[in-house]
Structure 1
Amino acid sequence: MSTELELAGRIALVTGAARGIGAAVVEVLAEQGARVVATDTDEAGVKALAVRCGNRVTAHTLDVTDADAVENAVAEAERTHGPLDIVVNVAGILRGAAVVDLEDADWAAVFAVNTNGVFHVSRAAARRMAERGRGSIVTVASNAAGIPRSGMAAYAASKAAAVMFTKCLGLELAPHGVRCNTVSPGSTLTDMQRAMWERSPGGEATGRRAVIEGDLASYRTGIPLGRIAEPSDIADAVAFLVSDRARHITLHDLYVDGGATLRA
């Protein structure tokens, strides 16, 4: 049995890497041998991650809503480390409100990061990967992209757009040997999730229980597996999709939500 690390020699770029799912993705890719460019608007957070992970990880401050900055970051990553083999779009924000109360600025901000950011990063990577005839792009979306959620219209719509964009990109890049997939988590123990619980009556304990058990009043199912995901659960799914074990998988949307959506 080979002891070689599965992603040895691969070059990866991950957005939204300072914490939560993004940090977990960086960690697992580095553990499997990849050299990772970890990017985020949180300069201190992404630098701290690089220190924790050692010399396989390099920190880079990046705002994915800025198309020029993205193009420059991808060019610099390839100039410094070599051609990108893996790109993972994790950067995302949530602004929750009922549609009738949703502010224009919040709608625009959510789409700027969750949809436009995926477009900017994926386009910059795709241009280069297509020329080389290899590569893997994974977008971390949400199970909210596939089932309606009260108070989450902007987030759900932005993630649904990112899923379909990634599938269309995958169709265009398939003849060039580049695979494009999405991973759609359910409720996951991240700062974003905890912030939602803090705003709910009863705090984290009540919020956690409501997520697992479901809430008929808001038409939300619970989680059949009876647990909330850890960031590493999502990161492991990403690591599989970028590996050679998934070499015949593209245009796929992998739900990692403990069965919460009943795959609606």
Structure 2
Amino acid sequence: MELTGIESTVALVTGAARGIGAAVVGTLAGAGARVAAVDRDIEALTTVVSKLEAEGASVRAYRADVCDSEPVDALVRRVEEELGPIGILVNAAGVLHTGRVVELSDQQWNEIFSVNASGVFHVSRAVARRMMLRRGGAIVTVASNAAGVPRTEMSAYAASKAASAQFTRCLGLELADYGIRCNVVSPGSTDTPMLRAMLGEGGDPRQVIEGSPSAYRVGIPLRKLARPQDVAEAVAYLVSDQAGHVTMHDLYVDGGAALHV
């Protein structure tokens, strides 16, 4: 199926320097979008953008920290001045700290929520205000299957992703009258730098695939990790014309790991 409605559309993607965010940038650019790639790590972001530009993609790097609303508002204004009206927003910025609740610090909790929840709010609000005037657009938030399944040592991350997912669905309800669709993609274990860091040096991805009874994890029924591209292609579908009647949906891309209904 060829996806339509992406070509020539301005797409803003946060968390664009690596992992799922970088894959989303590449996928949307490959479909003809003009992409504003946003991250606070400008060095890593420049590497991603330079590679895509060399391949002929229309991508521009923007440094911004989604935790602060004023710079976010300025970013959105600048992107629209330089690239044109934003028709697609993908909230892919995210951070992870693991640890048992009794050991988590205030700083870890606050950082996770600042990026994973407040960041989604800041960027979505700034873009939605402009989309409403044009009565159209598509917003996708990359959450996690941990938002719907309790995980040991992932309480802050899971809670922040649950907040961002439900926020996005509520936003979709408020924006439906304006023809703006808001959806969620919830990946499971995906082969990204974040997962590798969580596994630690010498960590074996097979332990994620097999599951862990002591941690109440059932494993991945499809017997493989997701690729960032798997998630990016789900995002691309949800922002395309082919998903024109889909909104407030939470699409799990986890190989069946959540046993999601």
Q: How does 1:37-186 map to 2 (within 5 A)?
A: 37-54=36-53, 55-186=57-188
What RMSD over aligned residues (CA atoms) do the two structures have, in Å?
1.4
Cα pair 2:4 2:240 within 8 Å, conserved: no
Give 2:17's aligned residue: 18
- Please give the TM-score of this superposition, normalised by the length of structure 2: 0.96
Letter of the structure 2 residue corresponding to residue 192 of structure 1: M
Give 1:224's aligned residue: 221
Give the whole-Å Cα distance in 2 for the aligned partners of 1:19 and 1:6: 25
Give the whole-Å Cα distance in 2 for the aligned partners of 1:61 and 1:238: 22
Letter of the structure 1 residue corresponding to residue 40 of structure 2: T
Letter of the structure 2 residue corresponding to residue 67 of structure 1: S
Cα pair 1:6 1:33 within 8 Å, conserved: no
Distance apart, 1:9 and its partner CA: 1.3
Structure 1 runs not aligned, ≥5 long: none
Structure 2 runs not aligned, ≥5 long: none
Letter of the structure 2 residue corresponding to residue 92 of structure 1: G
Letter of the structure 2 residue corresponding to residue 36 of structure 1: V
Distance apart, 1:198 and its partner CA: 1.0
Distance apart, 1:204 and its partner CA: 2.3
Structure 2 counterpart SS, 1:108: helix
Distance apart, 1:6 and its partner CA: 5.1
Give the whole-Å Cα distance in 1 for the aligned partners of 2:239 and 2:117: 21
Distance apart, 1:5 and its partner CA: 6.5
Residue by residue over 1:186-235, the C-alpha shift from the partner in whole angstroms, topping out at 9 and shown as x without a partner, is 00010100001116xxx322xx1111011111111110000000100000
Q: Figure out how many residues of one structure are paired with residues of the other and give that number.
A: 258
Letter of the structure 1 residue corresponding to residue 108 of structure 2: D
Structure 2 counterpart SS, 1:12: strand
Give 1:7's aligned residue: 6
Letter of the structure 2 residue corresponding to residue 96 of structure 1: T
Cα pair 1:5 1:33 within 8 Å, conserved: no
Q: Which structure is richer in relative contact order (CA contacts within 8 A, separation 6 or more)?
A: 2
Give the whole-Å Cα distance in 2 for the aligned partners of 1:69 and 1:226: 42
Give 2:238's aligned residue: 241
Give the whole-Å Cα distance in 1 for the aligned partners of 2:167 and 2:5: 28
